[in-house]
Amino acid sequence: MKKLLVSLFFLTALAAFAAGNFSVSGSVGYASDPANGLVGGVEATWDCQLYQPGKGRLRPTIDLEYGKGGFQAAALMRHLFPMGKTGLGLGGGVGLRYNAGVQAYLRADAMFRMDRYIGYPVVLGADAGYAYGFGGAPKEFVAHFKLGYCFEF
């Protein structure tokens, strides 16, 4: 019951901030910890409705992954800057990651919206980051390639 209540609270909090430009991507990645190797998963990201800076976009992000090392997750805040009108966004993020313990997570992101070129809001992206483990959690390099769809409300 406790897990259900926590899950409902978390989903409600996510819904409050997911008022627009929500995207979901499948991801394939690599984690340098020898116990992990290749990982696959899903990433959800959206425009933060609480605050947006004058330049770029703040995008909270949730990553869920599974590899031979087991379940992994990350929650971070990204700041993407648009590169002209090309659909390309570059930026970085900071947050927490879980892989056999809590890790501080710093990553660089690139996201390309292809709707201008193919007529559908398809998103292609990549990221690379470093996760610093606390209390026995591994320190590792993490990288992903993503392909997804952007839902606009």
Tell me the CATH number at 123: 2.40.160.20
- The pLDDT score that the predictor gives to residue 16 is 47
pTM (2 d.p.): 0.76
* Cα 41 to Cα 132: distance, rounded to the nearest angstrom: 21
Report the range out of 2-6, 19-23, 124-128 with the highest average pLDDT. Answer: 124-128
Instruction: Give the confidence band of 6 by pLDDT, cuts at 50, 70, 90.
Output: low
Give the domain extent around 67.
Answer: 2-151
- The pLDDT score that the predictor gives to residue 101 is 86
- The pLDDT score that the predictor gives to residue 112 is 92
pLDDT tens digits, 76-119: 888 889 898 888 999 999 998 888 888 999 999 999 989 889 98
* Cα 26 to Cα 85: distance, rounded to the nearest angstrom: 25
Beta strands in 5-121 (DSSP E): 22-31, 37-45, 57-67, 70-82, 88-98, 102-113
Single out the residue of 71, 82, 88 nearest to residue 124, CA to CA.
88
Would you state the structure tokens that stand for residue 120, as one six-digit string? 């559908």
Has residue 15 got a pLDDT over 80?
Answer: no
Would you state the structure tokens that stand for residue 152, as one six-digit string? 């606009």
Instruction: Give the confidence band of 10 by pLDDT, cuts at 50, 70, 90.
Output: low
pLDDT tens digits, 21-41: 778 888 888 877 777 778 888
Number of domains observed in the structure of the chain: 1
- The pLDDT score that the predictor gives to residue 22 is 75
